[in-house]
Amino acid sequence: MGVAALFLLSSLCLFAITAQAQQCSKPSGGPNMDLKPEYILNTTFEDGATVAFSCNPGYTPAGGSPTITCTAGLWSEVLLRCERKNCGALEEVANGEITYINGTEFGDTAKVTCKLGYNPVGGSAVMRCDVEGWTGRLPTCEVVKCVPPGGIVNGTFSPMKEFYEYREVVQYSCNKDLELNGSRELICSEDGNFSPAPPNCVWVECKDPVIENAELQSGSRPPHRLNAALIYICKTGYTMEGPSTVTCDLNSQWSPSLPKCNTQQCSKPSGGPNMDLRPDYMTQTTFEDGATVAFTCHPGYTPVPTITCTAGQWSAVQLRCEKKNCGALPEVTNGEIIYTDGTEFGDTAKVQCEPGYYPVGGSAVLRCGVEGWMGRLPTCEAT
Ligand SMILES: *[C@@H]1O[C@H](CO)[C@@H](O)[C@H](O)[C@H]1NC(C)=O
Ligand SMILES: *[C@@H]1O[C@H](CO)[C@@H](O)[C@H](O)[C@H]1NC(C)=O
Ligand SMILES: *[C@@H]1O[C@H](CO)[C@@H](O)[C@H](O)[C@H]1NC(C)=O
Ligand SMILES: *[C@@H]1O[C@H](CO)[C@@H](O)[C@H](O)[C@H]1NC(C)=O
C-alpha cells in the first residue's frame, strides 16, 4: 500500500469518526419548556450549534441560561428553569372577599363573594390565573336596595324614600285612636324586600262583660280600649272558674277569657262514728249546693242521720249513731224477766218463773239483735 493510499484511508476514516461524533440529535429540555420554534424542525445539529429553550405558556424563566451548545456530539447541560407563572393577589373588593381555590399561580382560580346584603355587579364571579394574568374583570359588591314597603289603611310609615339600602328601617304608625297590630318596624333585608309583613291599624274596644254572680272588684269604666283591665270576684257561695283579671286585647276580646262564678260544691263527706255514707251516694265525688246525703249506722246502731251541703260546707253531723235499744220485753204472768246488762244491742234477757211455775215454750235466753229481741218469750205455768 502506498503512502498516498494510506493517508487517504486514514483521513477518510478520521472524517467518518469526527463527522459521526460532531453531530447532536434533537435535545430534550427540562420540565415545562420547549425548544424555541426556529429549532423545532431540525433533527440533527452540527458540532458547535447553539439552540435555545423557552418556557411553556403559563411558565416563566427563573434563572439559568436558555441556550445549550452541541460539542463533540453532546449537548451542554440545560440550566434554564421554568416556574409556574404567579398572577399575584387580586386587588381588594370593597364589601366582598376573594377566595383563592389553591393559590395565585397559573391555572388557579379565585372566587369573589360579596358580604351579606351586597351583590356582585359587573365582572365575573370566578377569575382564573392565565398566561396574561387574571382573566375576567373583578366585580364590585353593591349594596342591596329595597323598594318602599306597602302602605297601610289609616296609618303611615317613615321615612318615605324612593329606595332603601340593606338594613335600613322604616317605622309604621296608626292614625289617632287606632292600635297597631303587627310589627312597628320593618327592615330592608338581603333579598331586596322589607320584612316582616307590614302591620295593620285596628280599632280596639271590648264589650263591657256581664258575668253572673260576679262583682267587679276594680278596673276601668267603659269604653274598654286596648289593655284595659278588670278584676272580678264571685259573690259568696260561688267559686271562680278562670282568671280573676282580664285585659282587652288587640282583637277586642277579653283575654285570656272571662271567668265564671259557679255555685260551690261539697266534696264527699265523712260521717260520725259507727256510720257510713249510704251506698247510693258512695260513687259521687262532688255534691251540688243544696244536696242532701244520708248515712247508715253500722249494724246494731241507730238511727239514720242526714247532713246538708250549703255553700260548699256540710252541715255538722248532729246525730250520733247509738246502740239500738230493744226496749223492755212484755211482762210474763207468774214470772220475772231478768236482764243481764240492759235492753241494748247484744244484751240478753232471761225469764225466771215464780216458785211452783215452770217455763213452757219459747227460749230460755233472748238476745237484743238488729231486728229486736230474738227468740220467743216462754209462759210460766203451774205444774
Ligand atoms: C436548522 O435547519 C435549517 C435548514 O435546514 C438550517 O438553516 C439551520 O442552520 C439549522 N439550525 C441549526 C442550529 O442546526
Ligand atoms: C389544588 O391543589 C391540590 C393539591 O394541593 C390538588 O389536588 C387540586 O387538584 C388543586 N385544585 C385545583 C383547582 O387546582
Ligand atoms: C279608617 O278610617 C276611616 C275614617 O277615617 C274609617 O271609616 C275606617 O273604618 C277606618 N278603617 C279601619 C280599618 O279602621
Ligand atoms: C292582627 O294581625 C294578625 C296577623 O297579621 C291577623 O291575623 C289578625 O287578624 C290581626 N288582628 C286584627 C284585629 O286585625
Q: What is the pLDDT of residues 218-246, one digit of tens each?
A: 998 999 999 999 999 999 888 899 999 99
| Atom 5 in ligand 4: residue holding the nearest Cα | 182
What is the rounded distance in angstroms from the CA atom of residue 314 to the CA atom of residue 17?
141
96-143 folds as Complement Module; domain 1 (2.10.70)
Atom of ligand 1 nearest to the CA of 49: 13
Pull the grid cell for residue 119: 351583590
- Percent of the chain clearing pLDDT 90 (strictly above): 62
Q: What is the pLDDT of residues 296-350, one digit of tens each?
A: 888 877 765 677 777 778 777 666 677 888 888 988 889 899 998 888 888 999 9
Query: CB–CB of 202/179 below 8 Å?
Result: yes
Q: Which CATH number fits domain 266-323: 3.40.50.2300, 3.30.310.40, 3.30.70.20, 2.10.70.10?
A: 2.10.70.10
Predicted local distance difference test score (pLDDT) of residue 222: 92
- Percent of the chain clearing pLDDT 70 (strictly above): 92
19 secondary structure, DSSP code: H
> If you measure from the C-alpha of residue 154 to the centroid of ligand 3, how many angstroms do you get, rounded to a whole number?
6
| 45 Cβ below 6 A of ligand 1 | yes
Q: What is the mean pLDDT of residues 188-205?
A: 96
Q: What are phi and psi of 170, to 5 degrees?
A: -115, 150
| 99 Cβ below 6 A of ligand 2 | no
The CATH code for residues 145-202 is 2.10.70.10
Average pLDDT, the chain: 88
What is the rounded distance in angstroms from the CA atom of residue 339 to the CA atom of residue 365?
10
Helix (H, G, I), strand (E, B) or coil at 12: helix
| 42 Cβ below 6 A of ligand 1 | yes
| 156 Cβ below 6 A of ligand 4 | no
| Domain range list for the chain | 23-84, 96-143, 145-202, 214-262, 266-323, 335-382
| 163 Cβ below 6 A of ligand 3 | no
Predicted local distance difference test score (pLDDT) of residue 340: 86
Query: CB–CB of 244/259 below 8 Å?
Result: yes
Q: What is the pLDDT of residues 72-104, one digit of tens each?
A: 999 999 999 999 999 999 999 999 999 999 999
| Atom 4 in ligand 1: residue holding the nearest Cα | 42
| 252 Cβ below 6 A of ligand 4 | no
23-84 folds as Complement Module; domain 1 (2.10.70)
Residues 6+ apart with CB under 8 A from 328: 337, 343
> If you measure from the C-alpha of residue 30 to the centroid of ligand 1, how many angstroms do you get, rounded to a whole number?
22
Q: What is the pLDDT of residues 248-280, one digit of tens each?
A: 999 999 999 999 999 888 888 887 788 888 888
- Please, what's the largest Cα pairwise distance for the chain? 205
> If you measure from the C-alpha of residue 79 to the centroid of ligand 2, how many angstroms do you get, rounded to a whole number?
28
Q: pLDDT confidence of 383, banded at 50, 70, 90? A: confident
214-262 folds as Complement Module; domain 1 (2.10.70)
Whether 217 shows a pLDDT value over 70: the answer reads: yes
Predicted local distance difference test score (pLDDT) of residue 249: 96
CA 239 to chain centre: 37
What is the rounded distance in angstroms from the CA atom of residue 51 to the CA atom of residue 40?
10
Q: What are phi and psi of 382, to 5 degrees?
A: -75, 150
Whether 353 shows a pLDDT value over 60: the answer reads: yes
**Closest ligand to Cα 178:** 3
Q: pLDDT confidence of 283, banded at 50, 70, 90? A: confident
Indicate the class that CATH gives domain 335-382.
mainly beta
Q: pLDDT confidence of 13, banded at 50, 70, 90? A: very low
Q: Quick one: 54 exposed, middle or buried, by C-beta within 10 A (0-12, 13-18, 19+)?
A: middle
